[in-house]
Amino acid sequence: MIIVMRAGASREEIDNVVARVARDGFTAHLSAGAERTIIGLIGDDRPLDRQLYEVLPGVEKAMAVLKPFKLASREFSAADTLVNIKGVVIGGLPVVLMAGPCAVESRSQLLEIAHAVKAGGAQVLRGGAFKPRSSPYSFQGLGEEALKILAEAREQTGLPVITEIMTPEHLPMVCDYVDMLQIGARNMQNYELLKGVGRTTLPVLLKRGLMATMEELLMSAEYILAAGNRQVVLCERGIRTFEKYTRNTTDINAIPVLKHLTHLPVMLDPSHGTGTARYVLPVARAGIAAGADGLLVEAHCNPEEALSDGGQSLRPEQYSELVRQVRVIARAVERS
Ligand code: PEP
Ligand code: MN
């Protein structure tokens, strides 16, 4: 259930409702809008009597949220959530561009591509330190050494950095080095990990699982929100279908549907969505045209030698061209 306070409700009235919610055995989550505060009641699924809350001073109305995701729903926050990664804001008018290699392979490899994607227009640098590979014999990532290299790249380029976190045990170490945490598709339903990142203060990019419905993605976001972290960005990265000519099938539908259902920003990863470098640019354009708040793109200076995902990685000049074209599309849809 959510409780909508009257415009101009006093601090005391809000505190009073929060105290009542706690007494009833629920956790109150506040969404302070420009005009009014909304209080979300999170707890068990027992039916609640709206009127018990509607009689409290300062309350305009109480309503049941019928969707299984509550804090992620549009009902909870009419305004779009803005997620701030060291000053780079996702969810507003400007489209945010994140790029970098699938994996950090060496200091020179990362620094070279970091400078190249920055020159091309990227605002956030990506790079995997712990890689969820389909085979245990494939390159698993450099671990903490990669995190140190990412931190050095941030120092040199000024770009905030994002990396994938695979287990809650790594959280203290990873949080020391990076500016945003990525939950990979394979871990979208790793609930202990979701709760763990929910207890941090770093923004989180949550990728859609290979076989996950949009509702399952939103329920995973709900885990992070319910644990207290409101800085969540959703990322469509393609789902598994019967189609074989692409690695995954980019679900463009997910962008407008998620934007309708949730106040959280929605990004697109056209690299994993297609799996082939030549298809990344057209699908990136489509994503921005469909309303994505940003793009996560893999880039590498020598894709043919990449230790992971070389086939879908753009060379620096291809990445620069992608940014140029995406900016044109962004302006056409009244973004920047
Ligand atoms: C990645 O971003 O390199 C990655 C592993 O993506 P996903 O989790 O979407 O497969
Ligand atoms: Mn990858």
310 alpha carbon to ligand 1 midpoint, in Å? 13
184 alpha carbon to ligand 1 midpoint, in Å? 5
> Domain 2-63 - what CATH class?
alpha beta
102 alpha carbon to ligand 2 midpoint, in Å? 4
Give dist(CA 135, CA 146) in Å, integer: 20
Whether 122 and 159 have beta carbons less than 8 Å apart is answered as: yes
Handedness of CA 25, 29, 32, 38 (dihedral sign): negative
Choose the residue to mutate in 125, 130, 164 for probing ligand 1, maximizing ligand atoms within 8 Å of C-beta.
164
Give dist(CA 43, CA 234) in Å, integer: 24
The type of residue at 233 is: V
Residue nearest to ligand 1 atom 8, measured at CA: 184
Q: Which two tokens stand for residue 96?
A: 């945010």
- pLDDT computed for residue 34 by the predictor: 83
155 alpha carbon to ligand 2 midpoint, in Å? 23
Domain extents for the chain?
2-63, 83-332
With a CB cutoff of 8 Å and minimum separation 6, the contacts of 248 are: 210, 237, 238, 239, 240, 241, 272, 273, 274, 275
Residue nearest to ligand 1 atom 4, measured at CA: 184
Whether 234 and 90 have beta carbons less than 8 Å apart is answered as: no
Residue nearest to ligand 1 atom 10, measured at CA: 185
Pocket of ligand 1 (CB under 6 A): 102, 128, 132, 184-186, 207, 237, 269, 272
136 alpha carbon to ligand 1 midpoint, in Å? 16
Q: Nearest bound ligand to CA 126?
A: 1
Give dist(CA 85, CA 99) in Å, integer: 14
196 alpha carbon to ligand 1 midpoint, in Å? 19
Kindly give the parts of the chain with pLDDT less than 70: none
Residue nearest to ligand 1 atom 9, measured at CA: 185
Which CATH code fits 83-332? 3.20.20.70
Handedness of CA 168, 170, 172, 176 (dihedral sign): negative
- pLDDT computed for residue 44 by the predictor: 84
Distance of CA 66 to the CA centre of its chain: 24
Q: Which two tokens stand for residue 199?
A: 């207890």
- pLDDT computed for residue 46 by the predictor: 83
Query: pTM for the complete prediction?
Result: 0.96
Q: Which two tokens stand for residue 131?
A: 């890689």
Q: Nearest bound ligand to CA 99?
A: 1
- pLDDT computed for residue 33 by the predictor: 85
Choose the residue to mutate in 207, 250, 295, 298 for probing ligand 1, maximizing ligand atoms within 8 Å of C-beta.
207
Nearest ligand 1 atom to alpha carbon 235: 9
The CA dihedral of 272, 273, 278, 284, to the nearest 10 degrees, is: -110
With a CB cutoff of 8 Å and minimum separation 6, the contacts of 47 are: none
Q: Nearest bound ligand to CA 164?
A: 1
